[in-house]
Structure 1
Amino acid sequence: MTTTTVLTTTTLPTDAATPASPASIGTPTTGGPARRRSRQRPEAFTVVSYFGVIAFGLTCLIPFWMVVAGSLTAESTLSQRGYSFWPDPLSFDAYATIFSGNRVWLSYGATLFITIVGTAIAVAATSGIAWVIARGLAFVSRPLAIFAYIPMLFTGGLVPMYILVTQVLQLRNSLFAVILPLVIAPFLVFVQVSFFRATPQELLDAARIDGAGELRIFFQIVLPISKPVIAVIALFYAVTFWNEWFHALLFISDTDLYPLQLVLQNLISSVANAADLGSTVSAPVYQMRLAMTVITIGPILLAYPFAQRYFVKGLTLGATKG
């Protein structure tokens, strides 16, 4: 018997869908949703937010610029017309008077030493104390936390501190007399304690399994991942040391060791007397006050852009943890 096989060929309609090629998958077509979305207008909230941020930035920048412009405006114009947006006429008399001698330059050096050395010591001491408190060690962490918390409530007073610095520590006429009383800020200690307690315990346990000691864990693991909080407390300490003048007034009598803030305060108090400033002409009083403001806040203002990226990182830290 012979078997005949009949093959039936089915022809698909011309309008049937054909499978898409791999190259065409994910490629937006002309006039598709992706193109329409790209042409959408920005949301009203986004526009309002941009305008709000710009307006807030201008409210902060314009007064500072007017102080700078006033410090470069002639004294006669300031006394008659007051502040102006542009220095007209341009005058550098105030800066020439301030920097006429070497006292301001010496005070700049003293303030830089106090700020840099004081900030380094304060950050190191604060980080060490905060790490020990965050570790929760028996018989150590709790007493140390109480020791750091008590100064937030009350202090011993001005007289005991003066006796301690001048008679016990023998730091009179020393820049460390300005640094040491401000080394530990209890509030910043507890800010860093909160950050250290958020460190993943698994990371520390893995380091201990690999044979790392406590000091190695602290310096090679904890501190590198703690750059945001360290930058924050370092900036707070730097601003505090830069603006410090009260402890210098108490413990320093050598004028060559005066920090910048104390020198400028003395200049303001004696600005009416040209002889005190080493000049035979009348001093530009109004212009000088504005120039002193620029000289005081200018250098420390430049520290904020360098710490900005750490502030942003600190805000977004932990946003991806689930």
Structure 2
Amino acid sequence: MTAQLTEPIVGARAEQPGARARVRNRPEAFTVVSYVVVSLFGLFCLVPMWMIIAGSFTAESKLALTGYSLWPQPFSLTAYRMLFSGTALLDGYLATLFITGVGTVLSLSCTASLAWAIARRMPGISRPLTVVAYIPMLFTGGLVPLYLLVTQVLGLQNNWFSVILPGMMAPFLVFIAVSFFRQLPEEIIDSARVDGAGELRIFFQIVLPLSKPVLAVIALFYGVTYWNEWFNALLFLSDQDKFPLQLMLQNLIANVANAATLPGSTAAQAAAPIYQLRLAMTVLTVAPIMFAYPFAQRYFVKGLTLGATKG
């Protein structure tokens, strides 16, 4: 009788792990809701971008009457033909690529070096450098001193470095790198110093390889900033062949719009696709920098969180 009673109990106990596994495999309600909300948010972000792309391929007459649409009808390449006619667009891309590439490399090098010097807490060096890096977060000298410094003192008028140098050091990114460097294991650095490694060798061969997440985040921030830069170019550049992409396309749209409003404008000028040109300009300026995000996406969140959790 006892054996007969224990068999169902043993069988029930044997079934419990499988039942628990099936329960654990079921998605939680919070997870399902989170996926739905994030998917809807992503859709809301993608729809406006798609409407801009579709509008850039829509005829000007349709845009003037109905505005944006989800599908380009009637299909038109007039704006892109105007933008790609001549070498102005190619010159703008070359200028922007130079400013973005050189500016990002120089900014990343200076930011990482300054952050490492502050993070080491070296007597007589780290504290003054911290003050120098923190002051620009509170106030700046102003536009006029900046213009006089770049044009009169440095002599960089009509030079691409006049666009690069004013934004080469972001204090916020410096302190993010400082927080990240201070979280690196001290044991690794001490062991390298015992083995005879100097500060430069420790920085280049140990610290930088371990800091790829935060360096990727900082490079992405600097790259996007330099790619979208136009105000400093407007101040310091006068040669149109050196205009970056954003400033060149802005001037193009302004010239077309102003020419179309003149009393003596021709029919071709009056019929210029102003709305379509603006949308095509947005696509041409935004699309290239969007390709940089997939390469840094795996480092982006990790670098921000690791650099901001501890001080």
Distance 2:305 2:163 in 1: 36
Distance 1:315 1:155 in 2: 26
Contact 2:93 2:244 survives alignment (8 Å): yes
Q: Which moved more, 1:155-164 or 1:141-150?
A: 155-164
Superposed, which structure 2 residues align to 1:20-31 within 5 Å? none
Distance 2:36 2:285 in 1: 31
Distance 2:303 2:170 in 1: 20
Cα 1:315/1:162, change in 2 over 3 Å = closer
Distance 2:41 2:151 in 1: 47
Aligned to 2:159: 174
Contact 2:119 2:178 survives alignment (8 Å): yes
- The Cα of 1:256 is off from its aligned counterpart by 0.3
Does 1:265 find its partner at 2:250?
A: yes
What secondary structure, in the 3-state scheme, does the structure 2 residue paired with 1:271 have?
A: helix
Contact 2:180 2:306 survives alignment (8 Å): no
Does 1:34 find its partner at 2:18?
A: yes
Cα deviation per residue 1:230-252 (whole Å; 9 max; x = unaligned)?
A: 11111110111011111111111
- The Cα of 1:156 is off from its aligned counterpart by 1.4
Superposed, which structure 2 residues align to 1:294-309 within 5 Å? 294-309=283-298
Cα deviation per residue 1:292-315 (whole Å; 9 max; x = unaligned)?
A: 111111111111111001124437
Distance 2:49 2:27 in 1: 32
TM-score (norm 1): 0.85
What secondary structure, in the 3-state scheme, does the structure 1 residue paired with 2:256 have?
A: coil
Contact 2:104 2:219 survives alignment (8 Å): yes
Contact 1:149 1:186 survives alignment (8 Å): yes
- The Cα of 1:36 is off from its aligned counterpart by 5.7
What secondary structure, in the 3-state scheme, does the structure 1 residue paired with 2:272 have?
A: coil
Distance 1:30 1:68 in 2: 59
Cα deviation per residue 1:178-198 (whole Å; 9 max; x = unaligned)?
A: 001110011111111111111
- The Cα of 1:264 is off from its aligned counterpart by 1.4
Does 1:88 find its partner at 2:77?
A: no
Q: Percent identity?
A: 64
TM-score (norm 2): 0.88
Contact 1:97 1:283 survives alignment (8 Å): no
Look up the equivalent residue of 1:172 and give its one-letter code: Q
Aligned to 1:284: 273
Alignment equivalent of 2:109, drawn from 124, 136, 142: 124
Distance 1:305 1:189 in 2: 24
Distance 2:87 2:50 in 1: 27
Distance 1:116 1:38 in 2: 52
Distance 1:151 1:33 in 2: 61
Contact 1:104 1:260 survives alignment (8 Å): yes
Look up the equivalent residue of 1:154 and give its one-letter code: F
- The Cα of 1:34 is off from its aligned counterpart by 3.0
Distance 1:215 1:170 in 2: 32
- The Cα of 1:126 is off from its aligned counterpart by 0.3
Aligned to 2:131: 146
Contact 1:73 1:90 survives alignment (8 Å): yes
Cα 1:254/1:66, change in 2 over 3 Å = same
Q: Which has the larger radius of gyration?
A: 1
- The Cα of 1:150 is off from its aligned counterpart by 1.0
Aligned to 1:105: 90
Q: Which runs of 5+ in 1 are unaligned?
A: 1-13, 18-28
Aligned to 2:9: none
Distance 1:146 1:45 in 2: 45
Does 1:256 find its partner at 2:208?
A: no
Q: Which runs of 5+ in 2 are unaligned?
A: 7-12, 262-266
Alignment equivalent of 2:299, drawn from 303, 310, 314: 310
Q: Flag the structure with higher helix content.
A: 2
Contact 2:176 2:304 survives alignment (8 Å): no
Contact 2:214 2:304 survives alignment (8 Å): no
Distance 1:200 1:307 in 2: 24
Aligned to 2:142: 157
Cα 1:316/1:241, change in 2 over 3 Å = closer
- The Cα of 1:41 is off from its aligned counterpart by 3.1
